[in-house]
Chain A
Amino acid sequence: MSLRLPKITFWRVVFAAILIAGLYATYLRVFYGLGGSTNLSDKFPWGIWIAFDVMCGVGLAAGGFTLVAIVHIFAIERYKPVLRPAILTSFLGYLLVVVGLIYDLGRPYNLWHPLVMWNPHSVMFEVAWCVTLYSTVLFLEFLPVVFEKFELHKPMEWIHRISVPLMILGVLLSTLHQSSLGTLFLIVPEKLYPLWYTPILPLLFFVSAIAVGLAMTIFESWHSSRAFGRALELPLLASLGRVLAVVLSVYLWIRFLDLSHRHAWDLLARNRIETWLFALEIALMLVPMVLLFQSRTRRDPGMLYACAVMVVFGFIANRLNVGTTGLEAGSGTHYVPKWSEIAVTLSIVACGFAAFRAIAGYFPIFEAHSHEDVRGELEETEEDSVAIR
């Protein structure tokens, strides 16, 4: 009898290394507290567990509400094939945000306190409620997939009956807390660098969340098509790419107007780290916008993917700037995450990828709707319907 070991591949080795580092970091977090596992201090109380795990996590999971709104509320049915993966990404995203919070909170067993101890003046209180409710909504939006898998027809009917109010609730809750993550930082006008501090931070967070939700949908479709040897829904993704370009241009236009109204352009003349980080974040949004406005780029799966990745990184750069680097000068300190903070964050991301893959392999995430009439509609789009393996 031979022992069957899983085949060793490069990515599996990386995955295992990340998880081992993450486990050791978890040990440090539990037994040596936040002091032993992070580089946080009294002057810099929030690090990448908030700025990346929570702020980026919630944003990267914005594809769910964006596509629910597009497919069900605006009834643009041809995007249906990417709806389920988007909802799954969102659901996993929110679960992982909670995992990140458990690492970050000083007393994680009090996580439920905001639900009973109210302070309606607190943005964090609103975020806590929205995230709790929206995670529930996402769970209910994902349930039909489970019911379909196990052929449970009765509960399927029940869930269909409440689906419309559920979807509207989901879009509303997302609108509220995606923007509220920006509102969180309105309380620190003297700390956050003026390139980022603006009264319209909530609006910017909302619009950029929509952009990154679309980018993540392209990103995950590209990856799952490779992982599962599935044909890429290229015409569909190409037209999503065009929507993304429009959203990005709206976002950049608002930022342009904002900087002009606040007379903040002079700041760009200063040779400071903030100027360069700002330039990086804008470039990572501007370049894909310009590229995606050209149909040649959209029809090239590699370029489309590269654009989506740029938007995702531009978004992450923005959230990290608002949540960490933009606060350093105002807080009078420097913050570089400890290795254990990075290890935990990478582990959470790695678990997200693994969970998505496992669930998508088991449940009908991609096969769904393929027999319906969406195929016919697809061919009517302006893009060539070239299926790419």
Chain B
Amino acid sequence: MPRAILYDSTLCIDCKACEAGCAERWGLPYNDRIAAEEHISAHKLTAVETHGDHYCRRLCMSCLQPACVSVCPVGALQKTALGPVIYDSSKCMGCRYCMQACPFQVPTYEWSKRLPLVRKCDMCYERQSHGKQTACAEACPVGATVNGDRDELIAEARRRIAGKPDQYYNRIYGLKEVGGTSVLFLSAVPFEQIGLRTNVPQEPLPETTWRVLELLPDVVSTGSVLLGGIWWITNRRAEVARKEGKRK
């Protein structure tokens, strides 16, 4: 069963334990200065943002049909059956199309390195495939981030909204966005007020390019016959003209 993360913004207390847990899991440095950075980067793969009285986490959304996976020319990014989107750095050539294509601007780059790589949250693929919780969910002291089966987490989110309808904005972010994501959000206020993109399409993004790419065999077959035919006709005409000219 595909795994997911449910982040409940109403429970979050901005303790940043998820950030520290994530940094430890990746072996990245973590200190007060880095804790103060409210955006994800190559050295900070998840971040808690402050939006007025509310908080919101940023991490890889692990889309059900990820744009980054579809655009990668070398297949360095893969969507696993378990849910996480993983990255094989040995294949990467650094075209950064994944960064351009991601509707959530999640993949980050090691800009200062001579031979940089893409860095992004992989929803703790290693840990989850060994039956463990993601580092952020394990670190969270208040249960604002929980890790589990996607369908169960959706049911849980609905229960929470139904239980306290006055405390929640009555929607789950990630249910339909870009065809669904493996990270789900609950919030007290409309999602754009906690910095989530609400202008993303409901359809999976890979469809937008595939609609064109799938025409490729048609273009090649029709095109070659058409061009070959035109060439044959025009050259035949020239040949006939030449022969007739000779006869005279």
Contacts and interface: CB of A to CB of B under 8 A. Distances in A.
Q: Do A and B bind each other?
A: yes
B209 A187 contact: yes
B96 A46 contact: yes
Interface stretch (A30-38, A289-297, A348-356): A30-38
Contacts of A31: 114
A183 B210 CA distance: 9
A75 B73 contact: no
Nearest to B197: A190
Interface string B83-102: 00000000111111101110
B112 to A, nearest CB: 4
A105 B92 CA distance: 10
Contacts, number: 176
Contacts of B228: 168
A252 interface: no
A334 to B, nearest CB: 15
Interface stretch (B121-129, B133-141, B217-225): B217-225
A125 interface: yes
A10 interface: no
A172 B227 contact: yes
Interface stretch (B6-14, B48-56, B64-72, B164-172): B64-72
Contact of A33 (B40, B113, B197): B113
B72 A35 contact: no
Nearest to B200: A190
- Interface size bracket, A side: 35 or more
Nearest to B237: A75
Contact of A202 (B201, B212, B237): B212
Contacts of A332: 105
A47 to B, nearest CB: 10
Interface stretch (A113-121, A262-270, A359-367): A113-121
Given A35-B112, A107-B93, A188-B100, A122 B71 contact: yes
Contact of B213 (A36, A69, A126, A168): A126
Q: Is the interface of A mostly helix, strand, loop or mixed?
A: helix
B70 A30 contact: no
Contacts of A127: 73
A127 to B, nearest CB: 8
Contacts of B227: 69, 73, 168, 171-172
A74 B201 contact: no
A121 B219 contact: no
Interface in A24-59: 30-36, 40-43, 45-46
Contacts of A122: 70-73, 75, 97
B115 interface: yes
B93 A106 contact: yes
A119 B72 contact: yes
Contact of B209 (A108, A128, A183): A183
Contacts of A179: 212
A32 B210 CA distance: 37
A114 B72 CA distance: 9
A30 B93 contact: no
Interface residues of B, number: 59
Contact of A46 (B91, B100, B197, B220): B100
B179 to A, nearest CB: 13
B99 A45 contact: yes
A176 interface: yes
A331 interface: yes
Interface in A101-142: 104-108, 110-111, 113-114, 117-128
Given A73-B231, A168-B227, A108 B93 contact: yes
Contacts of A190: 103, 197, 199-201
A121 B74 contact: no
Interface in A286-323: none
Contacts of B223: 171-172, 175
B208 A187 contact: yes
A124 B117 contact: no
A183 B116 contact: no
Given A125-B73, A168-B228, A183-B209, A331 B109 contact: no
B193 interface: no
Contact of B93 (A105, A121, A126, A184): A105
B207 to A, nearest CB: 9
B100 A45 contact: yes
A155 interface: no
A119 B66 CA distance: 14
Contact of B75 (A33, A104, A117, A184): A117
9 nearest A-B pairs in the assembled complex, by CB-CB distance: A106-B94, A35-B111, A75-B234, A110-B93, A124-B73, A45-B99, A45-B96, A125-B73, A119-B75
19 contacts: A33-B110, A42-B105, A69-B227, A73-B234, A107-B116, A110-B91, A110-B94, A117-B76, A119-B73, A119-B74, A120-B213, A121-B70, A122-B73, A124-B73, A125-B73, A171-B227, A176-B220, A187-B101, A190-B200
Interface of A: 30-36, 40-43, 45-46, 69, 72-75, 104-108, 110-111, 113-114, 117-128, 164, 167-168, 171-172, 175-176, 179-180, 183-184, 186-191, 199, 202, 331-332
Given A117-B76, A187-B71, 9 more contacts: A35-B111, A42-B105, A119-B70, A119-B75, A123-B212, A164-B231, A168-B228, A186-B211, A187-B101
